[in-house]
Structure 1
Amino acid sequence: MELPVAFTDYTRSFMGAEEYNKLAEALGGEQPVSIRLNEDKLGGSSFSLFRASFRPVPWAGTGFYLPDRLTFTFDPLFHAGCYYVQEAASMFVEQALRRYTGDVPVTMLDLCAAPGGKSTHARSVLPKGSLLVANEVIRNRSQILAENLTKWGHPGVVVTNNDPADFSSLTDFFDILLTDVPCSGEGMFRKDPVAVSEWSPENVDICWQRQRRILSDIWPCLKPEGILIYSTCTYNTKENEENVRWMRDEFGAEVLPLEISADWNITGNLLSGEDFPVYRFLPHRTKGEGFFLAVLRKPAGTGSPNLTFATANLNSASVNQTSVSADTRRKSRKPQGRGAKNTGISKEQLAAIHPWLVSSGDYEFLLEGNRVSAFSKSYLPELSALRSSLRILQAGVDVAELKGKDWIPAHGLAMSIALDPDAFAREEIGREQAINYLRKEAVVLSEAAPRGIVLLTYKQIPLGFVKNIGNRANNLYPQEWRIRSGYLPEEVLELATING
């Protein structure tokens, strides 16, 4: 790999020649493949088999390195949310969440969340009863985020599409902030040649300034004594240690330690003259890509500070680009009240779908047109506050849509762990039928399959709904999520194959 000369000179200056040479050599080496299993969908036997057969990611309880890359596009269990393909080093976020959340439910914001690796991970690690708000400022990426969180299946999630400045009214709202900020992407050089071609010292400067604007916008939303997790996928100290030092000095934040094993080979602070704890992953030391993380706590008993970092002082118009788009959205956004419009759906009609969810009494069923979603009653005040300020794409579980006199269950319900397993007739299908279904093609059911709504399963895992009308079954898989490739590899390696 041919690295930019300026990157080589700068990185060597703070790493030292020997360490840098090892890094440069690793960047030309093999890229490890890692996944995280969804313990809400896979049984304990699956985890036992993986632990016996594959190398675990040591800092992630459900993470594993794969000996070979799976054929993810054509693996039904991938589409069913049984696992997420995630870079191993970034799974280290789990250590911060486990160390500083405890057992009490929390409200967490993943600010720059797309495509959803850290959000799905956080949702699995957070204490029971917690609420996760996953946000992405770029519209098309926010749709991908919503899709991945839907497939992961946890009901305690709100997905938003906003600039960090849009959260300004939510003062002291969140217990935890995860800010995996946009960066220069040096840690992705091995995976993404575009990151190499786009790198420049000027872009690094734009990035660290943009990062401080983001942090200034969102810091007031953190409760006193709340935790901010700061992370990047880059190596340089400007976007890493220097930003942490800036938060410490500007916000009065306390930089917190994590308990790590020496066997993990994680590197610490590389900033001369500073000894606050930070955690840096280098691919020649750890099996994964480049990653940086620090944990900071907001001071107790203090209001949100009068932040002095202003975007007007930045030297590039591109830093303000997302703020301009956010201002445009605020002018055009219609208020979103908690109660959606009721279009004549009766209480009796609504009651008919309550049994589709386990513990349905814990949820408020919200109407929007002819669509119904279910959201935890415990967090209705928080949802109302979020809707007053933000553009919400999804909240809780999409349950159903009323078409004529019939309820058609939403695909989100099939994916959700809140689905009552006995609510619908089930039909187990094989791999070929599963791929046909995921392509939104015709699916042939057995003669024993009942008429009406049928939940298809693959390896006993819910895959989605069809409506059986006798001579054929209407495929209810979301059109926008379908497998678009007409190509089918001669050999397909899927999770079910390597998992026995």
Structure 2
Amino acid sequence: MMNLPAEFMARTRQLMGEEACTALCEALQQESPVSIRLNPLKSSGIPAGSKPVAWCRDGYYLSERPAFTFDPLFHAGVYYVQEAASMSLDLVMRRYVGRPSVMLDLCAAPGGKSTLAAAALPQGSLLVSNEVMRNRSQVLAENLVKWGNPAGIVTSNDPADFTPLGPVFDVILTDVPCSGEGMFRKDPVAVEEWSVDNVGLCWQRQQRILRDIWPCLKPGGLLIYSTCTYNREENEDNVAWIARELGAEILPVPVEESWQITGNLTGQDFPVCRFLPHKTCGEGLFLAVLRKEGSVEDDEVPFRTEGGKPERTKKGKQKGGKGAASLAVPEEMKGWLQALADEAWDFRVEDDRCLAIPQQWSGLYDYLRSRLRILHAGVTLGELKGRDWQPHHSLAMSTRLNRGVFPEASLDYTQAVAYLRKEAVTLEPDVPRGYVLLTYQGHPLGFAKNIGNRANNLYPAEWRIRSGYLPEELRLVGWQ
């Protein structure tokens, strides 16, 4: 049984009242619900025996917890494991983001809300996902690559690094680091590390983050503020501070009464959403939506494109890897992506890698690259190995992969797990030599190079399944 800190109990009782506090603490002793969100560009069914998450189009509660680590479809980006309350971002996106936009997810690791935003943004949008912590930023990049969004950039920078960019973003999501009260039943460490002093440090850090990033939001732009904690300092009080000190209008989020989402608990007259585990099926989450004061004209923005043609900046041209400046993108590699009528690509070689950037965002990519540390952008088509271009895992995961280019080999479950462990792969004798796209249940898992008697496993070593055993009772997500 979880022992909650006495000071947390006293503060929560003061905020919510005795009855609600007791109900919340009882709920925190229960097992967390299990939920996943489908990738609409990769999934073709719904989980068997599941129930929909009311506020998210692609969210589903599962009746039990599968062994996600050992599910090839999870590694293929067919779905993402995300707790249900966090999926409420979908509700906000549907209500307020109706046209192509440039969006920043500022504190994005491990990538749950970024993958949701990538699916929810209107066609023609660009998503920038950032994480300041280097080890967490690598996990973020992995999850975004697996999701397969071609119009995305992953960065690893402090919020202050964004300030000089100016008003670039139409939407900024700040799922800020917090005291983590809403994660108590999922993470025992969050209980151990909680203190009143830490709450104070958190709301001050949150305000610093908001001050740093505020100049990057266009006038009239949307700020989505969220935490996974319960106290008022990090929630309602910070939202009031944003409106008062930074200049913003607090907007309502349309919710249905049957969802039992709680509103403002502080008596202040502005709308917020509180997901409380004793009332809604999910973990604790706080959400507020604000619109920055003012309006913006196109010529006031430090970057824009005209007529779909990329606008380059001299500062955006950086030195590539050895010999990169003299390398040209082979014409055949341009055919590795689908040729859709409404999409154009800027193909380029950087650091011995061939990238494809959506052409309408090519200039903005250069602008960001000159100022930020970029981990991933667009689609990495291939990497130069000696004199040959080897197809990159990003290409295999991309929803724009041209499936007609590479021969394919279908793997059964045992073979798929072996491949994901980066073990040796044996292909059927009739599989052509050269680069082969390996699939599981029709979904790409990655590439191998078939050399006849064996195939070289090209799955990224740092992403491999490290566990050397399978659970005795293996449960996977079923589909209907």
Q: What TM-score range do you get, normalising by the shorter chain?
A: over 0.9
Residues 372 and 398, structure 1, Cα contact 8 Å, conserved in 2: yes
Given residue 280 of structure 1, which amino acid in structure 2 is its aligned partner? R
Match of 1:30 in 2: 31
Give distance in 1, aligned partners of 2:264 and 2:171: 23
Q: Are 2:87 and 1:69 aligned? A: no
Q: TM-score of the superposition, structure 1-length normalised? A: 0.89
Residues 339 and 367, structure 1, Cα contact 8 Å, conserved in 2: no
Match of 2:479 in 1: 499
Residues 365 and 375, structure 1, Cα contact 8 Å, conserved in 2: yes
Deviation at 1:385, TM superposition (A): 1.4
Residues 438 and 477, structure 1, Cα contact 8 Å, conserved in 2: yes
Give distance in 1, aligned partners of 2:125 and 2:444: 24
Give distance in 2, aligned partners of 1:148 and 1:28: 30
- The 3-state SS of whatever aligns with 2:290 is strand
Deviation at 1:404, TM superposition (A): 3.0
Q: Are 2:303 and 1:294 aligned? A: no
Give distance in 2, aligned partners of 1:151 and 1:165: 28
Match of 1:195 in 2: 190
Given residue 444 of structure 2, which amino acid in structure 1 is its aligned partner? P
Alpha-carbon displacement from aligned partner over 1:63-90 (angstroms, at most 9, x marks no partner): 0001111101110001101100001001
> Which of 185, 200, 208 is the matching residue for 1:205?
200
Which residues in structure 2 correspond to 1:308-327 (within 5 Å)?
none
Residues 320 and 352, structure 2, Cα contact 8 Å, conserved in 1: no
Give distance in 1, aligned partners of 2:262 and 2:287: 11
Q: Are 2:231 and 1:229 aligned? A: no
Deviation at 1:279, TM superposition (A): 0.1
Which residues in structure 2 correspond to 1:121-140 (within 5 Å)?
121-140=116-135
Q: Are 2:7 and 1:11 aligned? A: no
Structure 1 residues 338, 39: CA separation in 2 closer, same or farther (over 3 Å shift)? farther
Which residues in structure 2 correspond to 1:386-401 (within 5 Å)?
386-401=368-383
Match of 1:281 in 2: 275
Match of 1:326 in 2: none
Q: Are 2:428 and 1:446 aligned? A: yes
Residues 338 and 383, structure 1, Cα contact 8 Å, conserved in 2: no
Deviation at 1:34, TM superposition (A): 0.4
Residues 87 and 288, structure 1, Cα contact 8 Å, conserved in 2: yes
Give distance in 2, aligned partners of 1:400 and 1:75: 26
Give distance in 2, aligned partners of 1:436 and 1:184: 39
Percent identical pairs in the alignment equals: 58
> Which of 321, 324, 336 is the matching residue for 1:343?
324
Alpha-carbon displacement from aligned partner over 1:467-493 (angstroms, at most 9, x marks no partner): 000000000000111111111112221
Q: Are 2:348 and 1:354 aligned? A: no
Deviation at 1:384, TM superposition (A): 1.5
Residues 154 and 417, structure 1, Cα contact 8 Å, conserved in 2: yes
Match of 1:436 in 2: 418
Give distance in 1, aligned partners of 2:452 and 2:370: 46
Provide the aligned C-alpha RMSD in A: 1.6
Residues 104 and 169, structure 2, Cα contact 8 Å, conserved in 1: yes
Match of 1:307 in 2: none
Residues 327 and 349, structure 2, Cα contact 8 Å, conserved in 1: no
Give distance in 2, aligned partners of 1:300 and 1:86: 35
Give distance in 2, aligned partners of 1:264 and 1:414: 39
Match of 1:310 in 2: none
Match of 1:153 in 2: 148
Q: Which moved more, 1:360-369 or 1:62-71?
A: 360-369
- The 3-state SS of whatever aligns with 1:230 is strand
Give distance in 1, aligned partners of 2:64 and 2:430: 39
Match of 2:3 in 1: 2
Alpha-carbon displacement from aligned partner over 1:148-203 (angstroms, at most 9, x marks no partner): 00000011110000000000111111000000000000000010110001000000
Match of 2:259 in 1: 264
Give distance in 2, aligned partners of 1:302 and 1:402: 43
Deviation at 1:448, TM superposition (A): 1.2
Alpha-carbon displacement from aligned partner over 1:242-266 (angstroms, at most 9, x marks no partner): 0000011112210001111101100
Deviation at 1:53, TM superposition (A): 3.3
Given residue 18 of structure 2, which amino acid in structure 1 is its aligned partner? A
Structure 1 residues 36, 301: CA separation in 2 closer, same or farther (over 3 Å shift)? closer
Residues 183 and 207, structure 1, Cα contact 8 Å, conserved in 2: yes
Given residue 82 of structure 2, which amino acid in structure 1 is its aligned partner? Q
Give distance in 1, aligned partners of 2:89 and 2:319: 35
- The 3-state SS of whatever aligns with 2:370 is helix
Deviation at 1:356, TM superposition (A): 0.4
Which residues in structure 2 correspond to 1:468-483 (within 5 Å)?
468-483=450-465
Provide structure 2 residue ranges, at least 5 long, that are not aligned to the other structure.
298-314
